[in-house]
Amino acid sequence: MFLILTNNPMAAEKFAHCGEVRFYPEDNYRQLLIRVRDLVYVGHRLQNHPLYGSLRPHETPYRTVVVSAEASTPDMEECTILSDSLSRLDSFLLPDKNVMSEKLLHDYQLIDCSLVERIFSA
């Protein structure tokens, strides 16, 4: 099973049968990655990269990150991935969902879901 962290309402619904979903609709991209970082630092393993896909962080407000349901020994490489991802994210001005059209938000939700679903089909 998996632990799925997301700020994407479509992902929260679509992947509910794949593990425990932690839905944070109020989080922006950075806030979500901080939650993921905290889990990786205590030993949860990344199932997808926090900056996956061809969309840059300043383009999409949604992110879904999957980690192992169980924690073990923290992996230093994965801790570095999260630290580097947050540093990279800090170089961008993050998008504001409140000024985006519903159609655009829906499209970004769909893209996020399509990038994550391969994890559950393996």
Q: What is the pLDDT of residues 85-118, one digit of tens each?
A: 999 999 988 888 989 999 999 999 999 999 999 8
CA separation for the pair 2, 68 (Å, rounded): 5
- Report the chain's C-alpha Rg in angstroms: 14
* Apex 58 CA angle, 81 and 31, nearest 5: 55
Strand order in the sheet with 19-23: 19-23, 2-6, 64-68
Entry pTM: 0.94
Compute the distance between CA of residue 48 and CA of residue 26 in angstroms, rounded to an integer: 22
